[in-house]
Structure 1
Amino acid sequence: MKRRDFLIGGAAALTASSLALPRARAQSLSGTLTDADRAELRRAEDYLNGIDTMYSRFRQTASNGNQAAGFLALDRPSRMRFEYDAPHPVVMIADGYELTYYDRELQEARQLPTFETPLWFLLRDRISFGDGLDVLWMKRSEDVMVVRVAQREGNDRGTVNLVFSEQPMQFRGWEIVDAAGVSVQVALENTRYGVELDSEMFDEKQLPGYRSLQRNSR
């Protein structure tokens, strides 16, 4: 896997790159969830809705052994920044309407609607697993809960496994699997909540490639 393919695939939790699982596997379990399952999902919703700001380091690992690291900043609702450490060139900024994908090496930027990204629901005013999402699979143990979700419309955009630790509950990261069976895990590390975040980090106009982005959009 080429470096940019790896980065795009891993960042696909934000950029909706080729994550499609066969449609036969994307079956909603919403009608078969137990009361205990639904209670756990509500607890996860309450936890996510309680996040105001968050800053976390992340480590990304693909099933072929490729690795990368960087940071994630979240200012709910609407704003997110996902940035890789050098030498990897990718920075992504979501503002609630569009997600800007920026390549620092090429100094080029492009945009897509935020709602087309698999983790769009994290940026909504109110997070709900029943609103526009299908729960495809969930598994709980004493220490970990994993929930696989997909957008109700357009499952071919991909599925995401959301990972939570238990006691106390904390969002630990996500895993994606593309149509070729390549999986990419993003693990959050040293996460801090309620932190003060500079508003400029969510301003795509600060990116050197913003002018070329404007020209390309005309």
Structure 2
Amino acid sequence: MLRMKMLALAALPAALLTAPAVIAQAPSALDQVSQHLKAVDTMTANFSQTDRRGQVLGGKLTLKRPGKVRFQYQKGVPMLIVADGKRLNMIDYEVKRVESWPVGNSPLSVLLDAGKDLSRYAKIVPSDDPRVVMVEARDAKRPEYGRITLVFARIDSAPAGLSLQGWSVIDAQNNRTTVKLANQRFNVAVADSAFRWTDPRRRGPRA
């Protein structure tokens, strides 16, 4: 249940997800996305996550490349998602359960590893809004990892002229999770301690 709710972790603004695709992006759009990812070392934002049942949860996102991210859910939600540079951990403090796997096995790896060659596993998704760039990424050899569609807004003042607005993840069971971002801040100071977590199965923090 925990993995189904959280692994999907993904999505764009709902209007963008359902909008008809009629205008193709310029051929250089994928390169621009790659430049943006390489230009952003850290990011913080508020997030709103919607799962396949329509349940909405909010919280704070903290990202630091390579390989680190933290989804701190709103008060009262006993869940945490955190990647420490090597493994992505999904923690349910209510039932004291932890699921963990390599960061590279998650759709979120496209966000956490700016060194990946996007041309090998990602493509631009046509959009009806020229101010929006949408990128779908998947590993054709590992369909069980699911696929992620990132949504960027063209904003001149943002790194490489793009600002991440959110994403949509569809897992191997065809379940969709949507995440929308707000109040994005790029390249701010983020300590490595932000990606430590307390293991509910034993006492003490995890680095």
Deviation (angstroms), 1:128: 2.7
Name the residue aligned to 2:19.
none
In structure 1, what is the Cα distance between the partners aligned to 2:105 and 2:88? 9
Contact 2:107 2:169 in 1 (8 A): no
Name the residue aligned to 1:192.
185
* Shift in CA distance, 101/61, structure 1 to aligned 2, threshold 3 Å: closer
Alignment of 1:99-138 (within 5 A): 99-124=88-113, 126-131=115-120, 133-135=121-123, 138=125
Residue among 151, 157, 164 paired with 2:145? 157
Deviation (angstroms), 1:40: 0.6
Deviation (angstroms), 1:183: 2.9
In structure 2, what is the Cα distance between the partners aligned to 1:125 and 1:178? 22
Q: Which amino acid aligns with 1:71?
A: K
Name the residue aligned to 1:50.
39
- What do you get for the CA RMSD once the two structures are aligned? 2.8
Contact 1:97 1:114 in 2 (8 A): yes
Name the residue aligned to 1:16.
none
Between 179-188 and 154-163, the greater mean CA deviation after superposition? 179-188
Uncovered stretches (5+) of structure 1, i.e. residues with no partner: 14-33, 214-218
Deviation (angstroms), 1:89: 1.8
Deviation (angstroms), 1:81: 1.0
Question: Is residue 139 from structure 1 mapped to residue 137 from structure 2 by the alignment?
Answer: no
Question: Is residue 36 from structure 1 mapped to residue 26 from structure 2 by the alignment?
Answer: yes
Measured against aligned partners, the alpha-carbon deviations of 1:148-176 in whole angstroms (never above 9, x if no partner) come to 11024202321111101113321111012
Deviation (angstroms), 1:210: 5.9
In structure 1, what is the Cα distance between the partners aligned to 2:83 and 2:52? 27
Contact 1:48 1:127 in 2 (8 A): no
Q: Which amino acid aligns with 2:132?
A: V
Uncovered stretches (5+) of structure 2, i.e. residues with no partner: 12-23, 157-161
- Number of aligned pairs? 186
In structure 2, what is the Cα distance between the partners aligned to 1:202 and 1:195? 15
Deviation (angstroms), 1:114: 1.1
Name the residue aligned to 1:202.
195
**TM-score (norm: length of structure 1):** 0.73
In structure 2, what is the Cα distance between the partners aligned to 1:210 and 1:191? 33
Residue among 166, 169, 183 paired with 1:173? 166
**TM-score (norm: length of structure 2):** 0.77
Contact 1:10 1:60 in 2 (8 A): no
Hey, which of these two has a bigger chunk of helix by percent?
1
Question: Is residue 74 from structure 1 mapped to residue 63 from structure 2 by the alignment?
Answer: yes
Deviation (angstroms), 1:5: 6.8
In structure 1, what is the Cα distance between the partners aligned to 2:8 and 2:170? 9
In structure 1, what is the Cα distance between the partners aligned to 2:69 and 2:151? 19
* Shift in CA distance, 124/210, structure 1 to aligned 2, threshold 3 Å: farther
Measured against aligned partners, the alpha-carbon deviations of 1:26-57 in whole angstroms (never above 9, x if no partner) come to xxxxxxxx9932x1100111011100111111
Identity in percent: 26
